Amino acid sequence: MEKLFGEFLTTLIIFGVVVLLAIYKSKSHEKVAKINERDFKKNLENFALFFDEKGESFDEICKNLAKSGKIKIIDKNMSVSDFVGVLGRENFSDEIGGTNKIDQKILSQCVRALKKPLALGLYPQNNGVYYAFLLDEDELFRLIDLASKVGENIIFCD
């Protein structure tokens, strides 16, 4: 009987330690979540300040940027000449055109034809729609870094 009581007491102590450890971990995760939420808001604000724009979410900021003309909206079903027209023919060093739809090969050709130091970044939306960021290469890398800090991925086109 003493042996059974000793094992029961040992199990009870181990169970108590596990419960206390779980409570401690839960509290520490709550603190980290609050810190991450604060960092997220700060990083989102930094992304918005990059363009002097306002917005409560990444998508809202991008929509406002598109309305103001700071970024462009493109569709994967666009022809090459429409794509070049949206980005601005003056931004290309070579004449590019055609009625073919945009694919990876044509996109690479367009990016290579951009005037230096311009670079293209794409942020995918739904149904083949993309936000196009046409900026100096250094600015685009800084923007990609800011977006990644809020969990969004802007694709650098090369």
Rg, Å, the chain Cα set: 26
In the chain, how many domains are there?
1
Do the beta carbons of residue 15 and residue 125 sit within 8 Å?
no
Domain that holds residue 67: 3-157
pLDDT the model gives residue 30? 63
Encode the chain (158 residues) as per-residue pLDDT tens digits: 777 777 877 887 887 788 777 777 777 666 555 557 777 888 888 888 888 888 888 888 888 888 888 888 888 888 888 888 888 888 888 777 777 787 788 778 888 888 888 888 888 888 888 888 888 888 989 989 888 888 888 889 87
The dihedral region occupied by 98, where left means phi > 0, alpha psi between -120 and 50, and beta the remainder, is left
Please say whether the dihedral angle defined by the alpha carbons of residues 123, 125, 128 and 129, taken in this order, is positive or negative. negative
**pLDDT at residue 34, as a whole number:** 57
Contacts of residue 42, defined as CB under 8 A and 6 or more positions apart, other chains included, come to none
CA distance 135 to 109: 17
Q: Which residues contact 44 (CB under 8 A, 6 or more apart)?
A: 55, 57, 58, 61, 150
Query: What is the reported pTM?
Result: 0.70
Question: Could you give the CA distance from residue 73 to residue 112 in angstroms, rounded to a whole number?
Answer: 20
* CA-wise closest residue to 44 among 27, 64, 59, 25: 59
